[in-house]
Amino acid sequence: MAVSWRSWLANEGGKHLCLLLWLSWNVLLFWKTFLLYNQGPEYYYIHQMLGLGLCLSRASAAVLNLNCSFILLPMCRTLLAYLRGSQKVSSRRTRRLLDKSRTFHITCGVTICIFSGVHVAAHLVNALKFSVNFRQDMIELNAARYQDEDPRKLLFTTIPGLTGVSMVLVLFLMVTASTYAIRLSNYNIFWYTHNLFFVFYMLLVLHVSGGLLKYQTNLDTHPPGCLTINGTHPQTTLSADFLTEHPHVSFPGGFSRADEFPQNNLMKICMEEPRFQAHFPQTWLWISGPLCLYCAERLYRCIRSNKPVTIISVTSHPADVMEIQMVKENFKARPGQYIILHCPSVSAFENHPFTLTMNDFEICCFLHPVKIQRFCPLFILESIPGSTLMVHLEVHLRSH
Amino acid sequence: MGQIEWAMWANEQALASGLILITGGIVATAGLFTQWYFGAYSIAAGVFVCLLEYPRGKRKKGSTMERCGQKHMTKVVKMLGPLSRNYYVRAFLHLGLSVPAGFLLATILGTACLFIASTIYLLAAFRGEQWIPIESKPKERPQVGTTIKQPPSNPPPRPPAEARKKPSEAEAEEGAAGGPTGGPQVNPVPVTDEVV
């Protein structure tokens, strides 16, 4: 029993610890953001207008920021393969953890889907509330331009609304093509729709630049819920004349004059109208790093795969198996690697993975034509030993 | 690109759209939007679409992964005959179902998603794809006599099963399995077992 517990810890412990840390970070972000918008004084007026929808939409947005940032990191396969293979990371546990990168990517993806659902639902309710709770004195805080403006107009005529709808549609295409059944049967649909991630990120950058969400900047001169004198605040309006004519009017709390209010009483006098300012888009800070890293990695992979490959030999084996030996400059095959073969003269769109056999100086792979009906026989015809065929090879490390 | 079965993707999309319609409908009805009855319609339409799309169709080549418990819905959907088989019917049905949900803010995304699914179904129908139900084949009862195998007559290390078999047995196995032609594999290149 003790041995199995220790071996579980050694094998699975790292993975579960990382999962726990990631989960805690998500929960903390969600909770902190929820409380900030629920209780923060700078969001007092907008919270009055929108209610729970504001807190849910902002909290889910914070979780989305984290996951949209993290989801790109496990896909930097060249970097991960370098870390995994280098002498710096010699611990078997770390290597085993790095092998779980694809699972982590899927976990972040599922989280993005769930919290996008929460975020969209909350914002739809917010759009309705903006329209219904329109007030003339809070016109700069409101996304609606007049009372009872059609919420659908708010959705389609504002930058955050339009980019939000587009992002949902892109996410819909990506997610429906990523199910196990589709990946198994039509891998190309999955691959090409998943590359729409770039469109998703560009829309995300625009989505947060809309500046619809504002916070109050002058909390010291206008504490939320204060009394305005000669103001047009509908809740608590007193005029200076009223105070001079009725010096002993009783205020809430039993005070007879306004200047007897204690400092911590909410009913303070407002010095000026509330002023609002849009937030700096935090999302840009979250996603810029991983996005740049991933783009750099894709560029590097593209450049690396464009070097020509020379075919040394093509051998026919029983059971319709072909062995192809290739040589590529500055490349040494290592165990666990697989290649993605792309031959433009055979097919401009098809990329097919093949496992490499162990061979120090050459790339050797076995093609099973039964598996990929059209591609393999055509590729074999194109493969003349000694020729330099334009073949793009992307080398990857197999992970589970 | 030539071998892609679009109907499979359209099926996943339609199922997801059904769920989005149900969610939007719940938000609209619970949030008491004006014209909340569109929300109620959206829930009903979403449930119908989910039930119709739950049984996955059979792929032209290879085996198809069934969804959990789809046997029951397969029987119901099969009863609709050409209405369920033909993808043109599905495309226009989804297009029609999506329109009323577009009038309400909460369900407008469901409309957009179902519209995309309808377009992909149209493409699948154009390419001649059809919904074929996945039917489970009756299991062949194994003859008790033939399943009992004799223990190996020679001690280890033993060559693979194909080399050990007598010629008559080998022929019978081949006929059943359709395996590789004749005897054990002869490697053109000498193979050494490098144990690291």
Q: What is the pLDDT of residues A298-355, one digit of tens each?
A: 999 888 877 777 877 788 877 777 778 878 777 777 767 777 777 777 666 667 777 7
Q: For A155, which of B16, B105, B187 is closest by C-beta distance? A: B105
CA A46 to chain centre: 26
CA A71 to chain centre: 6
Sign of CA dihedral A73, A78, A82, A84: positive
> In terms of residue numbers, what domain contains B79?
6-126
| Residue B100, token pair as written in the block | 């009323």
Calculate mean pLDDT across residues A114-118.
94
In a domain, residue A174? The reply is no
In a domain, residue B90? The reply is yes
Calculate mean pLDDT across residues A3-24.
89
> In terms of residue numbers, what domain contains A319?
306-397
In a domain, residue B35? The reply is yes
CA distance B145 to chain A (A): 31
Predicted local confidence at residue A249, as pLDDT: 42
In whole angstroms, what is the distance from residue B157 CA to residue A344 CA? 48
In a domain, residue A371? The reply is yes
In a domain, residue B1? The reply is no
Q: What percent of chain A has pLDDT over 70?
A: 75
In a domain, residue A190? The reply is no
Q: Cα torsion for A259, A265, A267, A271, to the nearest 10°?
A: 60
Predicted local confidence at residue B161, as pLDDT: 63
| Residue A14, token pair as written in the block | 């790292």
**CB–CB contact A184 B65 (8 Å):** yes
How many domains does chain B contain in total? 1
pTM recorded for the entire structure:
0.77
Using only C-alpha atoms, what is the Rg of chain B?
A: 27
Task: Give how far Cα B114 sits from Cα of A109, B17, B92, Å.
Answer: 22, 5, 11
In whole angstroms, what is the distance from residue A335 CA to residue A397 CA? 9
Domain with A352 in it: what CATH number? 2.40.30.10
**CB–CB contact B109 A168 (8 Å):** yes
A354 Cβ partners below 8 Å, 6+ apart? A338, A339, A340, A341, A365, A366, A367
In whole angstroms, what is the distance from residue B139 CA to residue B75 CA? 19
- State the DSSP code for B86: B
Nearest partner of A344 among A372, A308, A315, A313, judged by Cα: A308
Confidence of residue B114 (pLDDT cuts 50, 70, 90): very high
Using one digit for the tens of pLDDT, what is the confidence trace for B28-53?
888 776 777 888 999 999 999 999 99
In a domain, residue B44? The reply is yes
Q: Is the pLDDT of residue A251 over 60?
A: no
CB A390 within 8 A of CB A345: yes
In a domain, residue B73? The reply is yes
In whole angstroms, what is the distance from residue B10 CA to residue B56 CA? 11
The nearest alpha carbon in chain B to A127 belongs to B105
In a domain, residue A116? The reply is yes
Q: Which of residues A185 and B194 earns the better pLDDT score?
A: A185
In a domain, residue A202? The reply is no
In a domain, residue B58? The reply is yes
Q: Which of residues B10 and B81 earns the better pLDDT score?
A: B10
If you average pLDDT over every residue of chain A, what do you get? 78
Bridge partners (DSSP) listed for residue A325: A313, A364
How many domains does chain A contain in total? 2
Using only C-alpha atoms, what is the Rg of chain A?
A: 30
Calculate mean pLDDT across residues A278-307.
89
**CB–CB contact A172 B31 (8 Å):** no
Q: For B8, which of A172, A181, A315 is closest by C-beta distance? A: A181
CB B110 within 8 A of CB A121: no
**CB–CB contact A121 B27 (8 Å):** yes
For tokens 């639902």, name the residue: A121
